């Protein structure tokens, strides 16, 4: 099971640069027992935001990267054979409910349909998790919060969040941070100097205007962080841009050439 667990306890709060009032919204949603959906492109800070808020609220965090094979049993748990005996093992969602933590379902739209059936009673005022295999009916404690993310850009006719599911969540639309904020993020994450951090963000602005034409999606903040790390680590700028931005964004020679031309106008 591909779950990432951050236990409760004193831990450093991961750096997160807010864009607006999203931290207050998250904290209030948590206090009121409401589920939250984060919508936005990949690599724009959604996961970092959840990690930051979980640490600030001192809650355990169970992150699950959803994929098209992920089933309700992966989230809830299953009987496993241990030394000749079958033992029930909680999945990450059940653990989050029992321990009163945050369960973060990254790219929830990828998961199998049976997952939504499990989420519905957890996302309305019942806040309950039914475990049919063990006959348990758990009431989620006040600490529990369900957070999910999805990328509207990837949406296809086959994979859309159904209104009956999405209308159970508060939603926040995420996008890449505004230029000054993204520059700050780059400097913090990579220790790159300000002029070169600003240049990377300018380049990103140009590339994002191109997206939709030849590129499926604009360059993510994550890729800018990679580029900044290579440059701050001593790699020549051209090589860093090639490995962190141009190659990851496209396999097409013409598109790559266009990206190189854009980079040359900035650096």
Residue numbers of the site for ligand ADP (CB under 6 A)? Answer: 15-17, 42-48, 177, 185, 189, 221-222, 225
CA distance 45 to 198: 18
> Closest separation between CB of residue 44 and ligand ADP, Å?
4
Nearer to ligand ADP, 20 or 81 (CB): 20
> Closest separation between CB of residue 182 and ligand ADP, Å?
8
> Closest separation between CB of residue 26 and ligand ADP, Å?
13
Nearer to ligand ADP, 3 or 73 (CB): 3
> Closest separation between CB of residue 238 and ligand ADP, Å?
23
Nearer to ligand ADP, 134 or 211 (CB): 211
Nearer to ligand ADP, 110 or 129 (CB): 110
Closest CA to 197 of 178, 217, 175, 225: 225
Using Cβ positions, the residue closest to ligand ADP within the complex turns out to be: 45
């Amino acid at each position: 099971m591909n779950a990432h667990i951050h236990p409760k306890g004193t831990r450093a709060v991961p750096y997160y640069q807010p864009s607006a009032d999203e931290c207050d919204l998250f904290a209030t949603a948590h206090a009121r027992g409401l589920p939250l959906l984060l919508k936005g492109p990949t690599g724009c800070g959604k996961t970092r935001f959840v990690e930051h808020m979980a640490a600030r609220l001192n809650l355990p965090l169970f992150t699950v990267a959803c994929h098209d094979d992920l089933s309700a049993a992966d989230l809830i748990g299953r009987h496993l054979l241990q030394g000749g005996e079958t033992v029930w093992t909680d999945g990450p969602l059940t653990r989050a409910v029992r321990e009163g933590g945050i369960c973060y379902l990254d790219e929830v739209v990828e998961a199998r349909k049976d997952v939504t059936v499990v989420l519905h009673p957890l996302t309305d005022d019942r806040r309950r998790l039914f475990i049919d295999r063990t006959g348990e009916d758990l009431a989620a404690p006040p600490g529990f919060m369900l957070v999910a993310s999805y990328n509207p850009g990837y949406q296809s006719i086959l994979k859309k969040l159904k209104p009956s599911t999405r209308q159970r969540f508060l939603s926040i639309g995420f996008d890449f941070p505004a230029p000054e904020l993204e520059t700050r993020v780059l400097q913090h994450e990579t220790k790159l100097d300000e002029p070169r951090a600003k240049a990377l963000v300018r380049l990103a602005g140009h590339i994002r205007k191109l997206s939709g034409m030849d590129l499926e999606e604009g360059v993510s903040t994550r890729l800018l962080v990679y580029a900044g790390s290579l440059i701050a680590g001593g790699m020549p700028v051209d090589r860093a841009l090639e490995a962190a931005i141009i190659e990851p964004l496209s396999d097409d020679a013409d598109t790559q050439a266009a990206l190189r031309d854009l980079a040359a106008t900035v650096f």
